[in-house]
Amino acid sequence: MDKPKFRKGMLSSIIPGLSLLSQRGLAGWLVVLGFIMVVSIVTMTAISPWVAPYDPSALIGKPLMSPNSQFLFGTNDLGQDVFSRVLSGGGIMLEVSILSVIICLLIGVPLGLFSSYAGGLVDRFFCLIMDSIYAFPGLVLAIAIAAMLGRGVTNMALSIAVVYVPSYFRVIRSQVLSIKEMPYVEAANAAGAKGRTILSRYIFPNVVPSIVVVATVNFADAILTAAGLTFIGLGVSPGIPDWGWDLTNGRRLLSSGTWWVIAYPGLMIILLALGFTLMGEGLSEMANPRLRE
């Protein structure tokens, strides 16, 4: 298993030169740190069925036992093992965020490319719509959509995606606007290349780094929004272990002083969101060195 090599190779195929991480100073380390955090949480969630000491949904202990040698993180009000639930509770949140980022990519990227390249009225139209969504409180919009669509991973991902598509659109649009004026695009145009070819061969590859940055930052947003939706009662059904749901459930128990029921799932959400934020922070500094100032 030479995982690190594979990882570096994969990333550097996305952004050429990323393998020089150690030479990038603080930004490089941020990316590495964030990446390690995210990968370890994903791994932990993936292997949890084999390593968790108890079945996360089984009622095995007395309710609300404080952390002890048998139950490392204690038990919740139903007598479920908090430690096992923490290990496996990232599944839904990861599914939702990955799916919503994919939806955003599939909608936001082509739309941004097309709209800015086409220009004129088409561009104005899309900009107006995107700006309206962008200006609106994201969580409120997500709540409205999620309330209409109902529960489920896909519906949650969809309602989150709608909120964040404009961020992709805006970044890509501004990039394309400047790339469009580059001499090599002009040259391709003069050589008689079709619009589609110019977009996919000449412009798109240059936008990829910014897309990676937006998507990474967006992961953190998606995770926090998913947690928020769950907190409000629009999450996936409560049967499946989920950090967001455990937090929500723990709110009722606050007055009994059972801190362990919420502390661990809460920390996990923070770590996961923090991992993506650090990665995003580092990557955007690399993609745009002037921001360092």
Binding site for other proteins (CB under 8 A): 128-129, 131-133, 135-141, 143-145, 147-150, 220, 224, 227-228, 231-234, 247, 250-251, 254-255, 257, 259, 262-263, 266, 269-270, 273-274, 277-278, 281, 293
CA count, 13 A, side-chain hemisphere, 243: 30
Q: At a CB cut-off of 8 Å and minimum separation 6, what does 73 contact?
A: 67, 81, 82, 83, 86, 260, 264
The residue with tokens 């479920």 is 80
- Count of beta carbons in the 10 Å neighbourhood of residue 78: 13
CB of 176 to other proteins, least distance (A): 23
Is 5 or 252 the residue whose CB approaches other proteins more closely?
252
Q: At a CB cut-off of 8 Å and minimum separation 6, what does 228 contact?
A: 139, 142
Is 140 or 177 the residue whose CB approaches other proteins more closely?
140
CB of 286 to other proteins, least distance (A): 16
CB of 137 to other proteins, least distance (A): 4
CB of 158 to other proteins, least distance (A): 10
Is 100 or 198 the residue whose CB approaches other proteins more closely?
100
Is 26 or 182 the residue whose CB approaches other proteins more closely?
26
Per-residue 3-state assignment (H helix, E strand, C coil) for 36-58: HHHHHHHHHHHHHHHHCCCCCCC
Is 163 or 179 the residue whose CB approaches other proteins more closely?
163
Q: What is the distance between the alpha carbons of residues 100 and 163, in angstroms, rounded to a whole number?
A: 10
CB of 3 to other proteins, least distance (A): 25
The residue with tokens 């669509």 is 149
